[in-house]
Amino acid sequence: MLALAALGGYAFTHLRVSGDLRAFLPAPRTPLQGLLLHELGRGAGARTLFLALRTPDAAQAAALSTALRAALAGDGRIATVQNGAGGPGRIAPGLLPYRYLLAPTLDTHRFDAAYLHAQLRQRLDDLGSPGAGLLKPLLPADPTLETLKLAQAWAPRQAPPLRHGVWYADGAALLLVETHAAGFDPDAQARVLDSIRAAYARLPGHARATLQISGPGYFGVVLQALTRGTAERLGLVSALGLLALLLVSYRSLRAVSLAALPLLSAAAAGAAVLALVFGRVHGLTLAFGVTLLGVAQEYPLRLLSHRGADADPRATARRLGPVLLLAMASTAVAYLAFFAAGAAGLSQLALFTLTGILAAGLTTRFLLPALLPATARDTATPVLARLDAALSRLPHPRRLALLLAAAALAALVLVRAPLWQNDLAMLTPVPLPLLQQEARLRHALGAPDVRHLLVIEGDTAQQVLARSMQVAARFAPLLREGRLGSLLLPSTYLPPVAVQRARQARLPDAAQLRSALDDALRGLPYRAGVFAPFLRDVHAARHLPPLTPQAFERTPLGGLLRALLIRRDRRWFGLGLMGGVRDPAALAAAAAAAAPAGSVRLVDLKTESEAWVAGYRARILRALAAAAVLLALLVALGLRRAAPTLRVLAAVLLAQLLTLAALRLLAGPLNLFHLVALLLAAGLGLHYALFFERARSADDAERLRTLHATLVCAASTLLAFGVYALAPLPVLRALGMTVALGIAANLLAALLLAWPRRLPPC
Amino acid sequence: MASLARPAPARTAFTEVRFVGLLTRPLVLRGEMAWLGGTRLQRRVLTPAPELTEIDGDSATLQRGRGRPQRFPLDRAPELKDLAASFVALLSGNAAALQRVFVVHAYGDARAWTLDLTPRDAQVAQRIRAVSIDGAGRAMRCMRVDSRDGDTAFTLLGALGGVVLPADPTPAGLATLCAGGR
């Protein structure tokens, strides 16, 4: 008992619970998958929240938007806040000196007298045009308008319209908030949401508009609240139900209380091992794990049911020892399949449950018998005897089993729905209205397409930037022809150092520029000396060290480049964000034409994630096949004779057929969680058949006790898992429904095929 | 002000004289201004270089020479939006629309009048210090825009639209011309 408390204490103090849902996605197999998984959580897209301040009064919305942006600017959890104010037309002061190195003008022109003259003439027209007020301040330092070219290239192509100086569309002022925390870190995201809501609530006049938040981080928070709430609510229901069931079954509060001991020791030992090995554990692992350990609850229940008239519980434990060992081993094999799934969260789950089963088994075999009260009510009651008789009168159980198998096969053949569900999004239980709201906001804000992505790979950052320049040139015709709406590349912000040096080399020296400018100004009415800042800046630009990604990332625009130029596994990746994708085939062809082959790819995230899930499933299917063979071997080894082995395996096989058919009828396409749960149910169902086989050679009372134990076990497992079939989360529901159906099917199959019928009275 | 109202389309020749600090002599542009009804305003420059601007509410289209027309939102140039709105308000005789955008101070008589306008929007006021419009009877004669950066633009309209300017126009001379010797 002390050891148990110590284990629990250790786990409690050392185990950190994380909320990163990616732990339940399959582990990446290629650097590209790794990148995508990373982007999914830590990419700028995943860290962006969309805010809408909804009110028909645009002026009020603008005032709130401006105030909220100011309020959030000082928040350490928030990287940037954009609301449309102070956007294009201005570039960060730190980048201003670099404009001649960053803009492409010098690739095709030289600052000679002819070019400058043409430019200055155009500026004269500009000064007479309605928009002159915007250009005037730029001219003395930047007569060729490089800053404007850069600002245009960097501006989001489809930004929402401005009203009163801020983004305002569809009756709401819009803001983009980039958080520091990963999108799939619900705890951190929840803190950001809290501080945004608190900042908004402090604004004067906030009641005149409503604040809407959306985005991946927000979904994570909603999802976690949903999971937590569901698990707590359903957990309470199933715990109360279990308690009632056990009290009715055993009529002893002490025995029922002590029966919780194996489960408690299982949870404590499992958590302690996780703390030791992983240090941190996903919240869902614990929730699933504790649920799965419901299996271990069978062990003490068997002990209680089989005690019968034994004076000493230790004798019962000794009698049950071999079959208990076989049950533990088969469950362990079933749970081992989680390791093969290849997701970190599922590996943790496997370790947790394996440890737990071992602890529960040992506790049941050695600790519990010493503590149980010396006397107990025999569970072989007349009610059970009547049930046993009814079962024995059941006509032709084997023919019935064959009929059921045929019906299940027919159902499997006839159900037309696709067999597999590959769409990862179908596992995302984000309520549909929230997804629709996000899609609207994303569209209004001109945020890039979430499905297509260009990925540029290289050995160094400079190589990726150079390839990115080539991609920009290759995709320019597609942009012109309208087959692509917009394309943001790493080189959009930062050309490679070599290109910057080439541009630098084309800048004239001070004397050359002065004389070119003097020639260019001949006949134009510019005041003498107006362009002195231009001469000074060009001279400075000639001697600047080229801008590196590291230096660029220290500027206020650094976040933009950091999102597009990523180092991973000692490789460099550039991302091209695309908007308005109308011809994916043409884009893929343009990407494939890049040299060297394979360095640029058009990634369709949907296809990619589906291929990924299909690969994941293939691995699980192989693990399942291996587990099935191992289970059969274990059974044969445990039972040592052919007939009982065949009966047990036939029962398990029939149960799987029935479960699969019921699932196909109820759930349609199957996902990974169905498969894993199916395996679990098979391991559990195996127990029933094994105990039934054991009863074949026992006396009448022991047969009835076996029936009692099996019914109580099945009922308690149904209670523990069945409630999750009601959960709104697809993951929990798939698990709960499959196991519940599986238990029912396994019990039925075991009764039909393995239950030793009493010989009819002559 | 209702007396200014006239049916669309209303067209008038204009001469614009801009005194820009960067330049040694003022820019002089000549062309035709037209109100096409609703919030649509057209400004066609004929000399020195052909340029066509159409402003419609929140956006503008600019075409130079034979180049492609370019459309841009007026988000970044709120003063342009307000000026266009005031112009439309005057042509359509909508005093309320004018007063929404500017604080209006009117003086003079029906024969010769002046409207002094001060921008209400803080963002616009950062660019434009004051606007004043001179008129005679039912016609606008002149619009003067003083920018914060010290530059001044005169737009001569109607009877003054085709006026012959002195070789070296000055702000004072143009102000006198606008006042009509008043």
Residue type, A334: A
Partners of residue A139 in chain B, C-beta under 8 Å? 22
A65, A136, A164: which to substitute to probe chain B, counting the most B Cβ within 10 Å?
Answer: A136
pLDDT at A540: 93
Report the residue count for chain A: 762
Beta bridge partners of A17: A281
pLDDT tens-place string over residues A32-66: 777 777 776 677 677 888 899 999 988 889 899 99
Residue type, B44: R
pLDDT at A762: 41
pLDDT tens-place string over residues A696-714: 888 888 888 888 888 988 8
Omega of the bond leading into A300 within 30 degrees of 0 (cis): no
Q: Within a domain: residue A619?
A: yes
Helix (H) or strand (E) holding A487: strand A484-488
Q: Is A502 helix (H, G, I), strand (E, B) or coil?
A: helix
**Which has more confidence, A728 or A657?**
A657
Tell me the helices (H) and strands (E) count for chain A, helix number first. Answer: 32, 13
Average pLDDT value for residue range A282-301: 76
| pLDDT band of A499, cuts 50, 70, 90 | very high
Displacement of CA A16 from its chain's centroid (Å): 19
Q: Determine the Cα–Cα distance for residues B180 and A296; give it in Å rounded to an integer.
A: 102
Residue with tokens 């008789």: A389
pLDDT at B158: 82
Interface size, chain A vs chain B, as Cβ–Cβ contacts under 8 Å: 72
The encoded tokens of residue A683 equal 């391991």
Q: Can you give the CATH number for the domain in which A688 is found?
A: 1.20.1640.10
Measured CA distances, A16 to A188, A198, A272 (Å): 14, 28, 11
pLDDT at A446: 67
**What residue numbers bound the domain in which A661 lies?**
242-252+293-342+360-426+609-753
Other Cβ atoms within 10 Å of A416 Cβ, number: 7
The answer to whether the Cα torsion of A605, A610, A614, A617 is positive or negative is positive
pLDDT tens-place string over residues A93-123: 778 889 999 999 988 999 999 999 999 999 9
B22 with A130: Cβ contact below 8 A: no
pLDDT tens-place string over residues A262-284: 888 888 898 889 888 887 777 76
The answer to whether the Cα torsion of A245, A251, A253, A256 is positive or negative is negative
Residue with tokens 């005037």: A136
Nearest to B51 among A125, A165, A526 (CB): A125
Helix (H) or strand (E) holding B118: strand B113-119
Residue with tokens 């075999």: A365
| pLDDT band of A80, cuts 50, 70, 90 | confident
The encoded tokens of residue A169 equal 């569309």
B51 with A128: Cβ contact below 8 A: yes
Q: Residue A670 gets which letter from DSSP?
A: B
pLDDT tens-place string over residues A199-211: 999 999 888 999 9
Other Cβ atoms within 10 Å of A505 Cβ, number: 9
The ipTM is: 0.90
State the nearest Cα–Cα gap between B50 and chain A, in angstroms.
9
Q: Determine the Cα–Cα distance for residues A301 and A715; give it in Å rounded to an integer.
A: 11
Q: Within a domain: residue A724?
A: yes
pLDDT at A24: 63
Q: Within a domain: residue A725?
A: yes
pLDDT tens-place string over residues A412-445: 888 877 777 766 655 555 666 777 777 777 777 7
A165 with B73: Cβ contact below 8 A: no
Q: Within a domain: residue B179?
A: no
pLDDT at A92: 67
Nearest to A128 among B29, B55, B58 (CB): B29
Q: Within a domain: residue B92?
A: yes
Q: Of A627, A689, A626, give the one whose Cα is nearest residue A654.
A: A689
- Average per-residue pLDDT for chain A: 83
pLDDT at A89: 47
Beta bridge partners of B44: B32, B52
Residue with tokens 């492409």: A104
Interface check B18 vs A, CB under 8 A: yes
**Nearest residue of chain B to residue A152 (CA atoms):** B72
Q: Within a domain: residue A553?
A: no
The answer to whether the Cα torsion of A696, A700, A706, A710 is positive or negative is positive
Rg over alpha carbons for chain B, rounded to the nearest Å, is: 16
**What residue numbers bound the domain in which B57 lies?**
2-161
| pLDDT band of A171, cuts 50, 70, 90 | confident
pLDDT tens-place string over residues A341-395: 667 777 888 888 899 999 999 999 998 888 887 777 777 778 888 888 888 787 7
Poorest-pLDDT segment among A80-84, A438-442, B117-121: A438-442
Residue B111 phi/psi, 5-degree rounding, is -75, -40
State the nearest Cα–Cα gap between A521 and chain B, in angstroms.
11
Interface check B100 vs A, CB under 8 A: no
pLDDT at A355: 92
Other Cβ atoms within 10 Å of A437 Cβ, number: 17
| pLDDT band of B75, cuts 50, 70, 90 | low
pLDDT at A17 over 70: no
Q: How many domains does chain B have?
A: 1
Measured CA distances, A517 to A114, A281, A524, A537 (Å): 9, 67, 11, 14
Q: Within a domain: residue A98?
A: no
Task: Please say whether the beta carbons of A52 and A196 come within 8 A.
Answer: no
pLDDT at A169 over 70: yes
Q: Determine the Cα–Cα distance for residues A38 and A424; give it in Å rounded to an integer.
A: 16
Q: Within a domain: residue A684?
A: yes
Q: Determine the Cα–Cα distance for residues A212 and A751; give it in Å rounded to an integer.
A: 56
Q: Within a domain: residue A214?
A: no
Residues whose CB falls within 8 Å of the CB of residue B180, separated by 6 or more in sequence, listed in order: B112, B134, B136, B141
State the nearest Cα–Cα gap between B75 and chain A, in angstroms.
5
Task: Please say whether the beta carbons of A607 and A649 come within 8 A.
Answer: no
Average pLDDT value for residue range A131-154: 86
Rg over alpha carbons for chain A, rounded to the nearest Å, is: 35
Poorest-pLDDT segment among A123-132, A164-173, B36-45, B70-79: B70-79
Angle between helices A216-250 and A283-292 (to 10 degrees): 20
Helix, strand, coil percent content, chain A, rounded in steps of 5: 65, 10, 25
pLDDT at B8 over 60: no
Q: Within a domain: residue A297?
A: yes
A65, A122, A527, A534: which to substitute to probe chain B, counting the most B Cβ within 10 Å?
Answer: A527
Other Cβ atoms within 10 Å of A400 Cβ, number: 14
Q: Determine the Cα–Cα distance for residues A743 and A41; give it in Å rounded to an integer.
A: 37
Q: Of A92, A79, A85, give the one whose Cα is nearest residue A43.
A: A79
Task: Please say whether the beta carbons of A281 and A17 come within 8 A.
Answer: yes
**Which has more confidence, B129 or A279?**
B129
Angle at A110 between CA B65 and CA A465, to 5 degrees: 100
Partners of residue B149 in chain A, C-beta under 8 Å? 136-137
Nearest to A130 among B48, B73, B80 (CB): B80
Average pLDDT value for residue range A16-34: 65
pLDDT at A68: 93
Displacement of CA A516 from its chain's centroid (Å): 60
Q: Of A261, A166, A260, give the one whose Cα is nearest residue A209.
A: A166
pLDDT at A445: 74
Q: Within a domain: residue B176?
A: no
Measured CA distances, A49 to A177, A420, A547 (Å): 5, 33, 30
**Which has more confidence, A4 or A515?**
A515
State the nearest Cα–Cα gap between B48 and chain A, in angstroms.
8
Q: Is A281 helix (H, G, I), strand (E, B) or coil?
A: strand
**Which has more confidence, A306 or A114?**
A114
Average pLDDT value for residue range A158-182: 82
| pLDDT band of A723, cuts 50, 70, 90 | confident
pLDDT tens-place string over residues A433-483: 777 777 777 777 766 666 788 899 999 999 999 999 999 999 989 888 888
B123 with A165: Cβ contact below 8 A: yes
The encoded tokens of residue A657 equal 């057929």
Q: Determine the Cα–Cα distance for residues A656 and A195; give it in Å rounded to an integer.
A: 50
Interface check B39 vs A, CB under 8 A: no
Displacement of CA A167 from its chain's centroid (Å): 31
Q: How many domains does chain A have?
A: 1
Q: Of A293, A294, A307, give the one whose Cα is nearest residue A255.
A: A307
A526 with B64: Cβ contact below 8 A: no
Residue B166 CB-density burial (10 A; 0-12 exposed, 13-18 middle, 19+ buried): exposed
Q: Can you give the CATH number for the domain in which B142 is found?
A: 2.50.20.10
State the nearest Cα–Cα gap between B131 and chain A, in angstroms.
15
Alpha helices in A17-102 (DSSP H): 31-42, 58-73, 99-102
Measured CA distances, A94 to A84, A263, A431, A504, A557 (Å): 21, 62, 44, 18, 10
pLDDT tens-place string over residues A513-567: 999 999 999 999 999 899 999 999 999 999 999 999 998 888 777 777 887 888 8
pLDDT at A88 over 50: no
Q: Is B44 helix (H, G, I), strand (E, B) or coil?
A: strand
B79 with A129: Cβ contact below 8 A: no
The encoded tokens of residue B56 equal 């419609």
pLDDT tens-place string over residues A618-646: 877 787 788 788 888 888 888 888 888 88
Average pLDDT value for residue range A163-172: 82
Residue type, A110: R
Helix (H) or strand (E) holding A648: helix A642-667
